[in-house]
Amino acid sequence: MPAQEPNGRFRLRQSPVDSPECAWRSLRLWDSFVQRADSERRDHLLNCIRTVCPRVRRVLPMRKLHVGIIDIVARGSTRALYARVMNPNLASIMPQVIGVWCREQGHDVSFVCYTGSEDLLAELPSNVDLVFIGAFTEAAHTAYALSNLFRSIGAITAIGGPHARCYPEDAQRYFDYVLGFTDRETLHGILADCSRHRPAGVRIGARQQPRTLPGVRERWQFIEPTLKKARHLRIVPMLGSLGCPYTCSFCIDASVPYQAMDFDGIQEDLRFLLKKFKRPMVGWHDPNFGVRFNDCLDVIERSAPRGGIDFIAESSLSLLSEPHLKRLKHNGFVALLPGIESWFDLGGKSKTGAQTGIDKVDSVAEHVNLILRYVPYVQANFVLGLDTDQGPEAFDLTKRFLDLAPGAFPGYSLLTAFGRAAPLNLDYQRANRVLPFPFHFLNNNHAMNVRPRNYSWRKFYDHVIDLTRYSFSWKAIGRRFCATEGLTARGMNVVRAVSTEGFGRLRYYQEVRRRLDNDPQFRPYFEQETNQLPRFYLDFVRRDLGPLWEWLPEGALDHDPNAYLNSEVAGAADSVRPTPIRLTGE
C-alpha cells in the first residue's frame, strides 16, 4: 500500500513489483491524487509509481522533462584556422533529430553544439533531468567528463553516435544509457524510463536505422543557431540515404543495409532552404551519395532552379561517370570526396577492377582530373598502413598520383580499428595487434592503434612524414592552387594545408617520430611491451580538456582494446536490448 511520509513525499510498498495487484493499487493512487496535488509532488509520485511498478508505465502520463542535448564536434578548445571555418558546419544530424522528437513528446529541450570556440562550461544547460550527448570516439573523454559532471548534480545521461556504437562496453561505465540505432520508439522508452542505471548503464538500440527522420524544416530550430557560429561558410546538413552497398572491411557503414530517405521530404527541405538563403549550401551526410543517382538528381532538379543550391557530397569513383558528372555540375555540386583508400585493394569502389599499383594510379588520376573538369573541389581519401601495403611503394604511388592529379586535396587517415565498427577489427584483435591508445587520439591521424603488419613503427612514420611533407610543401600547395578553379576551392585548399591538416600534422608526426627514438616511454608502449601510457599523451589530453579534466572519471583513459573480441568469445554479441524496453530504476 502507498504511504505518505511526514514531508508529504510518497513511499510505495511493493506487493510484489510489477504484479497486477501493484498495478491496480498504483493506478487507484494516481487517480485519487492527481486532482489535488501540486505539480512537484505529483511528479514525485509519478516517478515512484514508474520505478516500483513498471507495468503501469504505458498508461500513466509521461512526466515533462528538461532534456539537454550536446553535440560534440570538437574534442576540446581550439583556435585552429580550419576549425574556426569548418567546425560549425560539421554538426551531426542525429542530435538535432533527438531534439525534434523530444519536443514533439512535450519535453523542454536545451541544445548545445560545441565547436571548440565556445566556453563549453558556460554554455551547458542547467536544471536538466536527462542529457543526451552525441560524440565521435575522439571526443569520448569530453563526453565522459560531461556525463560525470551532470551525474554529480542528479541528471540522467545517455550517449549516442559513433562512439556508442563502436565502444558500448566502455561507454556503459559512464552513462545510464548507451544508444545504438535510435528511432522514435527507442527514444520514447528512454524518456519514459529516465532512471539511473549504475554502475553499468544499459545498451539500447533499434534493430535497424530509422526509416524516416525529421527534415531540415523540423530541425531548423537547432540548425540555425549552430550555423550562426560559422564566420564565412555555412553548410546545412542533409541526408539522402543511410548505409552503404559497398563492403569495405574497415568501414562502420559496411554492415548497415543501404536505404534511401523519403524523396518528397528531401524536395520539401530544399525548397525550404531556398527561402532561407539566397544561395544555400548543402552537405550530404550520406556514407555514399548517389547510389540511386537518377532518383537523387531528379528530386534536386524538381526542387531548385539549376545551380540554385551548392552541394557537397562523399561518393565513390564508381558512381562518378562523365554523364553523371555533367549532371552534377548542372545541379550545383561544388565539392566531391571520393574514397580511393588503397592502391592494392578495393578496386570495385574506385571502378578500377583488378588493377593495382601504378596501373591503378594512372587510371584513378585520369578519373580525378575528369572530375575536376566538372567539379571545382575534390578531396581524394586514402588509408595509410593497410596490410596490403609494403615498403615505400604505397607511399611513392600516392606521390605519383599527386603529380598526375595536382588539383586533388589528399585526405590521409592512419589505419584505425574503432572497436565494433567493422568485422575486420576482430582479426586485428585476434592477432593482438590493437594498441590501447586513449580514445582522444583515435581521430585517424593522432594515433594508429593497429600495429602495422609490414613496417616497424619507426619506418612507418618515416614514410608518413615523407608523404605528408611532399603533399603539403609550398610547391605542392602552389600546384594545387593553380590546378583548382574558383576562389572558394582555392582558398579552402590553402587553409587546410597551412592549418592542422597539413603543417600541423607534419609537426605532430615529426614529434612522434622523434620520441620513438628519444622518449624511453614510447617504444615499449608502441611495441605492446607495456600498457603504461607515455606522459606525452597524458599531458595532451589534459591540455585539450582544460577545466573538464577535473571531471574526467578515474580510469577513463584506459579501455579494453579487445572488448569486441572478448564479447564474441563470451557469446554476448547480441546483448543490445531491442525496443520496446522494460527498465527499472535503482
Q: At 366, is the pLDDT very low, low, confident or very high (cuts 50, 70, 90)?
A: very high
Query: What pLDDT, on a 0 to 100 scale, did the predictor assign at position 38?
Result: 54
Residue 248 has pLDDT above 80, yes or no: no
Q: Can you give the pTM of this predicted structure?
A: 0.87
Kindly state whether residue 415 falls inside one of the protein's structural domains: no
State which residues form the domain around 581: 63-228+533-586
Task: Please indicate, yes or no, whether residues 221 and 131 belong to a single structural domain of this protein.
Answer: yes
Instruction: Tell me which range, 58-72, 214-228, 234-248, is most confidently predicted by mean pLDDT.
Output: 214-228
Residue 5 has pLDDT above 50, yes or no: no
Q: At 283, is the pLDDT very low, low, confident or very high (cuts 50, 70, 90)?
A: very high
Please tell me what DSSP assigns to residue 211.
Answer: S
Query: What pLDDT, on a 0 to 100 scale, did the predictor assign at position 159?
Result: 98
Query: What pLDDT, on a 0 to 100 scale, did the predictor assign at position 256?
Result: 81
Environment class of 568 (CB within 10 Å of its CB; exposed 0-12, middle 13-18, buried 19+): middle
pLDDT tens sequence across 460-491: 999 999 999 999 999 999 999 999 999 999 99
Helix axes 505-518, 457-471, angle to 10 degrees: 160
Neighbouring residues of 34: CB distance < 8 A, sequence distance ≥ 6: 42
Other CB atoms within 10 Å distance of the CB of residue 422: 22
Residue 118 has pLDDT above 50, yes or no: yes
Neighbouring residues of 126: CB distance < 8 A, sequence distance ≥ 6: none
Q: Report the pLDDT averaged over residues 491-503.
A: 94
Could you say which of 56, 84, 100 is where a domain stops? 56
Q: Which three cell numbers stand for residue 465?
A: 612524414
Could you say which of 56, 81, 97 is where a domain stops? 56
Percent of the chain with pLDDT over 90: 77
Residue 15 has pLDDT above 60, yes or no: no
Specify the pairing of strand 130-134 against strand 66-72: parallel
Q: Report the pLDDT averaged over residues 335-351.
A: 81
Task: Please indicate, yes or no, whether residues 83 and 202 belong to a single structural domain of this protein.
Answer: yes
How far is the C-alpha of 189 from the C-alpha of 184, rounded, in Å? 9
Specify the pairing of strand 377-384 against strand 409-414: parallel
Residue 189 has pLDDT above 90, yes or no: yes
Residue 6 has pLDDT above 60, yes or no: no
Residue 15: alpha-carbon gap to chain centroid: 45
Q: Which three cell numbers stand for residue 455?
A: 613496417
Kindly state whether residue 324 falls inside one of the protein's structural domains: no
Query: What pLDDT, on a 0 to 100 scale, did the predictor assign at position 257?
Result: 84
Q: At 255, is the pLDDT very low, low, confident or very high (cuts 50, 70, 90)?
A: confident
Q: At 252, is the pLDDT very low, low, confident or very high (cuts 50, 70, 90)?
A: confident
Q: Report the pLDDT averaged over residues 552-579.
A: 80
Q: Report the pLDDT averaged over residues 360-383.
A: 96
Instruction: Work out how many domains the chain is built from and give that number.
Output: 2
Task: Please indicate, yes or no, whether residues 141 and 173 belong to a single structural domain of this protein.
Answer: yes
Query: What pLDDT, on a 0 to 100 scale, did the predictor assign at position 231?
Result: 81
Kindly state whether residue 198 falls inside one of the protein's structural domains: yes
Kindly state whether residue 420 falls inside one of the protein's structural domains: no
Task: Please indicate, yes or no, whether residues 83 and 161 belong to a single structural domain of this protein.
Answer: yes
How far is the C-alpha of 160 from the C-alpha of 173, rounded, in Å? 14
Percent of the chain with pLDDT over 70: 85
Task: Please indicate, yes or no, whether residues 44 and 114 belong to a single structural domain of this protein.
Answer: no
Who has greater pLDDT, 228 or 18? 228
